[in-house]
Amino acid sequence: MTSIAVWAGIDSRRPASVYIASDSRISWGNGERWNQGRKVFSSFTTPHIFSYWGDVLFPALAIPIVLDRIERGLLLAGDEDISIDRVEQAFRSLWSDYPQNLSGDLGIVHAWRIGQYMTCDFKVSILTYQASSNTWQSRSVGMPKESSMLHVAGSGAKFVRDANSLWQSSSASKTSRAVYSAFCEALDVGRDPMTGGAPQIVGLYRKGPGSIIGTVHQGQRYLAGSRLLPHEDPTGVEWRNSLFERIDGTRKKRLSGAQAHEKRP
């Protein structure tokens, strides 16, 4: 399974960002686990991001296919917009000959942006599959008026919600950093055996394509769940720590001039 959190960042004017955070653990029924599994995805040319929870194989293989079609303009409904119906149809078409006896419950999160700058709109869609009934369902998630969690799912969802409740009672309440700090806190406590590894984040801002954000976890750099090697240059990546502070990927310290964030009491 997994733990996944989706949230929106709202400034004094309107929605400014959408983020998805996930853990990095892939687990098997025999107790084996791998802590560098990728669970967040971003287009590098368009404002679309994805993640998933539940059964791993189908979404891990299908999301890159759908992203490729988005980048090639195959799912466009107009000059800039994309048809969410076409995105869902793409996933269902890929699923049509997937072995049903190998399927399990799963969910796919898709966030995207229409337009740019102050007039842009952020959209979030949740697509879920229930194996027992062999049915798909989808729903849209509206934007809040304050920075807050939009969706939490996976085997560790309860622990993420519990941690978020504590952070929302702190001085950091109603901020993006509160949601992400809560997610990291739940991950570090480790109460869900199906959740583990480093946190991974993908985000959307008011302009530009989606962005996979690097994380520093237990002193190591990770990108989309996998640990960076010593020779890899981190300078072209946005980096965050567990308090959602903007950090220097080389020094693994807060950037000069970046806002400092306090820990929860």
pLDDT in tens, 73-102: 898 765 556 677 889 999 999 999 999 888
pLDDT score recorded for residue 12: 84
The pLDDT confidence band at residue 67, using thresholds 50, 70 and 90, is: very high
pLDDT score recorded for residue 152: 98
Residue 100 in tokens = 């049903």
pLDDT score recorded for residue 46: 93
Least confident of 100-104, 164-168, 225-229: 100-104
Higher pLDDT, 58 or 84: 58
pLDDT score recorded for residue 85: 85
Q: What is the 3-state secondary structure (H, E, C) of the chain?
A: CCEEEEEEEECCCCEEEEEEEECCCEECCCCCEECCCCCEEECCCCCEEEEEEECCHHHHHHHHHHHHHHHCCCCECCCCCECHHHHHHHHHHHHCCCCHHHCCCEEEEEEEEECCHHHCEEEEEEEEEECCCCEEEEEEECCCCCCEEEEEEECCHHHHHHHHHHHHCCCCCCCHHHHHHHHHHHHHHCCCCCCCCCCEEEEECCCCCCEEEEEEECCEEEECCEECCCCCCCCCCCEECCCCCEEECCCCEECCCCCCCCCCC
Give me the CATH code for the 3-254 domain, please.
3.60.20.10
Residue 128's Cβ-count burial label (10 Å; 0-12, 13-18, 19+) is: middle
If we measure between CA atoms, which residue out of 228, 224, 227, 234 comes closest to residue 200?
224
pLDDT score recorded for residue 80: 54
Least confident of 21-35, 79-93, 199-213, 220-234: 79-93
pLDDT score recorded for residue 77: 65
The pLDDT confidence band at residue 170, using thresholds 50, 70 and 90, is: very high
By percentage, how much of the chain surpasses pLDDT 70?
98
Mean pLDDT, residues 170-198: 96
Residues 110-162 have pLDDT tens digits of 999 999 999 999 999 999 999 999 999 999 999 999 999 999 999 999 999 99
Alpha-carbon distance of 27 to 29, in angstroms, equals 7
| Cα–Cα distances in angstroms (integers) from residue 57 to residues 38, 64, 66, 98, 99, in the given order | 11, 12, 15, 10, 11
Mean pLDDT of the chain: 94
pLDDT score recorded for residue 103: 86
Residue 158's Cβ-count burial label (10 Å; 0-12, 13-18, 19+) is: middle
What are the beta bridge partners of residue 220? Answer: 217
Residues 5-19 have pLDDT tens digits of 999 999 988 999 999
pLDDT score recorded for residue 78: 59
Residue 137 in tokens = 């369902």
Asked whether 46 and 70 are in contact (CB, 8 A), the reply is: yes
pLDDT score recorded for residue 252: 95
